[in-house]
A and B are shown apart, each in its own frame.
Chain A
Amino acid sequence: MARLRAPERERTLLPSEEPLSLLRKDGSPVEDSPLEMPDDDVLVRLHRHMVIGRRFDTQATALTKQGRLAVYPSSRGQEACQVGAVLALREQDWLFPTYRDSVALVTRGVDPAGALTLLRGDWHLGYDPHEHRVGPQCTPLATNTPHAVGFAHAARLKGEDTAALVMLGDGATSEGDTHEALNFAGVWRTPVVFLVQNNGYAISVPLSKQTAAPSLAHKGIGYGVPSVLVDGNDAAAVYAVVREALRADGPTLVEAITYRIEAHTNADDATRYRDADEVAAWLDRDPVDRLEAHLVSRGLLDAAGKRALAEEAEAFAARVREQLNADVETDPAELFAHVYAEPTTHLREQAAQLARELA
């Protein structure tokens, strides 16, 4: 992580005073950034996945209104984190996401219907974690953090070069598991990146009520875990930071400063705890617009390219609609099938009882 921190910071493990970035709000490059600007083709891919991710996100929110999804926690405004971090993963690395990270999942290649299966109200995950190396979406806050540490530690014991990326929110940094996991990762020098998407709120509770720390990144110090503070609306910066951290010989805590544009979920009323002005200020720092402006100014994206991408995103949304508008066949008998490797006698009896009731 030498590039990200001056020698003094390396020694003290302190994050930078200001979030690291590569692109300014208007898309112009930051001079003297300690971060390495991703290659042009990476910038183009980051943009493409953010555009598709955002369209996916608005589609999912719309599907809640039609009753096709039971609930949806939008990540609108957080696309630079979701896409930047996931594209930084190597093929062999694992992602440990939360409920907030559906866009990260589809960016990793998980089928949209799979990414939304639990949110649809089904009982199972909807995708095979091993297929895309994506752990289960995790709702009990911060409980995925020790899973990521254990997973990466096991990889190391087996002599495999696999790192883990675990996502969590600002609120989740107050949970005990975050601290236990950081501590284990520090002691074991486990290759895990803890990506805190600091979107300012834990449902309604602002960060000021969550912590007295100067920043969430500061929390790494006590565990001997180097920390990085990054502009979470700058996809190029998030990519650069996470990419380097995943290749480091040990853990990194990354705090990405971002904002949740929508309410906590479709069931939440954000007007009860935050002002429209605040939201407007963040809309002005939109992560997709920022990278788009950069690509256009560099001649990496033109009007035709934008149109083609918009069409691709529309087609993606249409597929999501189609998948979610189809009624799924659910088999109540399967509720008993995976509780144990082999259903117990007891469960077989209960399955038979339910079958009789349904006959």
Chain B
Amino acid sequence: MTTGTTTGTTVVSMAAALNRALADALEADERVLVFGEDVGALGGVFRVTDGLAARFGERRVFDTPLAESGIVGTAIGMAMNGLRPVVEMQFDAFAYPAFEQITSHLAKLRNRTRGRVEVPVVIRVPYGGGIGGVEHHCDSSEAYYTHTPGLRVVTPGTPDDAYRLLRDAIDSPDPVVFLEPKRRYWTKGPLHGGPAAAFDRAVVRRHGRDVTLIAYGPMVATALETAEAAREEGWDVEVVDLRSLSPFDDETVCASVRRTGRAVVVHEASGFGGYGAEVVARVTERCFHHLHAPVLRVTGFDIPYPPPKLEKHHLPGVDRVLDAIDRLQWDDRVVVRGA
């Protein structure tokens, strides 16, 4: 299991937790490398790799030429030769040049070599909006990756998960797309450290009886806020944080929905053909007889990500989630049950 682990609870930002995870992984395993654009002297545009080049040296933490396909492609070659590259894509939309390497090679190499070649590459991608970013800096691109068999897709909602999930991602024999909710980089929370409990398990963040909010990444905080606000309206809301988008933890999610009988999936990405559609389908297929209402989605609109001045209208917020909860056919309860 993981050594060089940070222990003892402190309060840190998510960016600092990620930085610590990288440092501990570099310390624990000399096969680990960190590279990408501006990750060296600058420490990354979000400072997630701050100080790592100075501490671990240029051979292990380094800036590459500016070419995302080249970054992922060379990482694949390095992983084939026994190293464990952790690469940074500077922003969500700037990972697209690497799409072919990710989908045609990274995701498939284990399978097409019948397990003889492993490519334990971690691709860190700051994603999502809410930071006043201009175009191409705010995409929620999770569905592109979750639709690709062979990839693990993980996203933390808290600093503690950021640390533990990233350590697990680096230890994983499978390739991992590690999506970092950039608007939560500076949000602080306790960091317990220690090895992760379960890399591919969802977690119930808040217990409640009436309705399950299913969220991940940047929307976990929004869901928790909504749960507080909903209390005033008389609803007791449970919040499930998915953490692992692929594979999907049916067990934890469905157990919650069976308890509450109602569910709303919340994500920033556009709804059409989005990740939430998969969640709704899975929950409906598995929990149909426990449901008192259709499972609803609260998502970004089906538009290109809007400019800073308008993004507040696009991003799901507490009010929009409360509205969705309100639409869960509370009045029909008896009728539906009796029908």
Contacts and interface: CB of A to CB of B under 8 A. Distances in A.
Contacts of A339: 110-111, 149-150
Interface in B25-46: 33
B161 to A, nearest CB: 20
B109 to A, nearest CB: 7
Interface stretch (B59-67, B135-143, B233-241, B293-301): B59-67
B284 interface: no
B113 A340 contact: no
Chain B interface size band reads: 35 or more
Contacts of B112: 118, 123-125, 136
A150 B65 contact: no
Given A136-B113, A340-B150, A345-B250, A143 B101 contact: yes
A304 interface: no
Contacts of A180: 65, 67, 69-70, 73
B204 interface: no
B123 to A, nearest CB: 14
Contacts of B109: 136
Nearest to A185: B74
A235 B173 CA distance: 41
A146 B101 contact: yes
A68 to B, nearest CB: 21
Interface stretch (B2-10, B78-86, B215-223): B78-86
Interface in B65-113: 65, 67, 69-70, 72-83, 85, 97, 100-101, 104-105, 109-113
A276 to B, nearest CB: 37
A307 interface: no
Contacts, number: 139
Contacts of A155: 81
Interface in B124-158: 149-150, 152
Contacts of B247: 340, 344-346
Interface string A168-190: 00000000110011011001000
A345 B286 CA distance: 14
Contact of B65 (A118, A129, A183): A183
B113 A148 contact: no
Contact of B75 (A135, A150, A338, A345): A150
7 contacts: A136-B109, A146-B72, A158-B81, A177-B101, A180-B69, A339-B150, A344-B247
Given A184-B65, A184-B70, 12 more contacts: A124-B113, A128-B113, A140-B104, A146-B77, A150-B73, A150-B76, A183-B67, A338-B113, A339-B110, A339-B150, A341-B115, A345-B251
Interface of A: 118, 123-125, 128-130, 135-136, 140, 143, 145-155, 157-158, 164, 176-177, 180-181, 183-184, 187, 334, 337-341, 344-346
Pick the 9 closest A-B CB pairs, nearest first. Answer: A150-B77, A146-B73, A150-B74, A180-B70, A154-B81, A151-B77, A147-B77, A344-B247, A341-B173
